[in-house]
Amino acid sequence: MPKTLTELETLVRAEVGEPTAQYWTQTHIFSYINEAARTFSNDTGILLSPPKKCDIVAGTSLYEAPTDVPGPQAIIAVFYDDSELTPETPYSIVRGDGLPHETDTDTPSCYCVIYDSGKVYLMLYPVPGAALTAGLVVWFWKLATTMTTGDEACTIPDEYHEAVVAYASMLAFKAKRDYDQVKIEKDTYNDWVVRARSVVTAQIMAARQSRHGDATAKRSIF
């Protein structure tokens, strides 16, 4: 069962050797825990979101990603009509004269991610030549939900709660300028990141292999 914010506070206080609030207030510890959970979700992609769909418009190449996509790095896979598109850079789908292939219409085979003014966009190439209801499907990971009350459960899976505790403890020691302890906690956190990434990567590669074969499966999200 996922740990609540209060349970995580108890674990962090045990780790930093302060069972009751003295140097660190509850507000401090709660803030450290929330930052730790969000950072771990960002560093590992452990929180996979249900896929989001949108309609394809004929002649339109640019689509805004779902609003809960935290950033370009969170895009795991993009599908057009059940076919996975190949990720490319914006520079790889422009003409020699620097202009996009706006007139090349066909079935999209690749996409690139564009980040502008705080929003994430997906540009498809070739430009879709026909409309398709719910034709664009985006898989992505999301950030951990911010907890505000002690009885709220952390959205990071319980098997990784030690990573949250380690990162929160690192932030606590950093505030106290205890840099020896900062390094210890950071090393512990990094070990958990490696473990979580390996699990996420294995799951995604297994899914791609069952769908496309070995060549596509070997592409990692990290």
Residue 216 lies inside a defined structural domain of this protein: no
- 63 plus 133 within the same structural domain: yes
Q: Specify the DSSP element, H or E, that contains 13.
A: helix 5-16
Helix then strand count (H, E) for the chain reads: 5, 10
Last residue of a domain, one of 118, 140, 162: 140
Residue 17 lies inside a defined structural domain of this protein: yes
222: pLDDT confidence band, cut at 50, 70 and 90? Answer: very low
The whole-chain average pLDDT of the chain stands at 88
Please say if the pLDDT value at position 218 is more than 50: no
- 56 plus 133 within the same structural domain: yes
- Please tell me which residue, 208 or 20, carries the higher pLDDT value: 20
- 149 plus 41 within the same structural domain: yes
Domain that holds residue 179: 5-46+145-201
In this prediction, residues 166-194 reach a mean pLDDT of 97
Last residue of a domain, one of 115, 140, 165: 140
How far is CA 139 from each of CA 68, 145, 148, rounded to the nearest angstrom? 11, 18, 28
Can you spell out the DSSP letters for 151-197? TPBPSS-GGGHHHHHHHHHHHHHHHTT-HHHHHHHHHHHHHHHHHHH
The first and second tokens of residue 20, run together, are 């009751």
Instruction: For 112, list phi and psi in degrees, rounded to 5.
Output: -135, 155
Residue 16 lies inside a defined structural domain of this protein: yes
Q: Give the side-chain half-sphere CA count within 13 A for 222.
A: 16
| Residues contacting residue 86 through CB under 8 Å, at least 6 positions apart | 109, 110, 111
Q: Is 0.85 topped by the overall pTM?
A: no
- 35 plus 70 within the same structural domain: no
In this prediction, residues 192-221 reach a mean pLDDT of 71
Please say if the pLDDT value at position 200 is more than 50: yes
Count the domains in the chain.
2
- 56 plus 83 within the same structural domain: yes
Residue 14 lies inside a defined structural domain of this protein: yes
- 129 plus 189 within the same structural domain: no
**Dihedral sign of CA atoms 130, 134, 139, 142 in order:** positive
In this prediction, residues 167-172 reach a mean pLDDT of 98
- 25 plus 63 within the same structural domain: no
Return d(Cα 65, Cα 121) in angstroms, integer. 5
- Please tell me which residue, 105 or 57, carries the higher pLDDT value: 57
Give ∠ CA 94-97-99 in degrees, rounded to 5: 45
Kindly report which listed range (40-44, 65-69, 94-98) carries the lowest average pLDDT score.
94-98
Kindly report which listed range (83-87, 180-184, 192-196) carries the lowest average pLDDT score.
83-87
pLDDT of residue 92: 72
- 151 plus 164 within the same structural domain: yes
The first and second tokens of residue 74, run together, are 């969170």
Q: Give the model confidence (pLDDT) of 93-138 as tens digits.
A: 665 555 555 567 889 989 999 999 889 999 998 889 999 999 999 9
Last residue of a domain, one of 140, 160, 190: 140
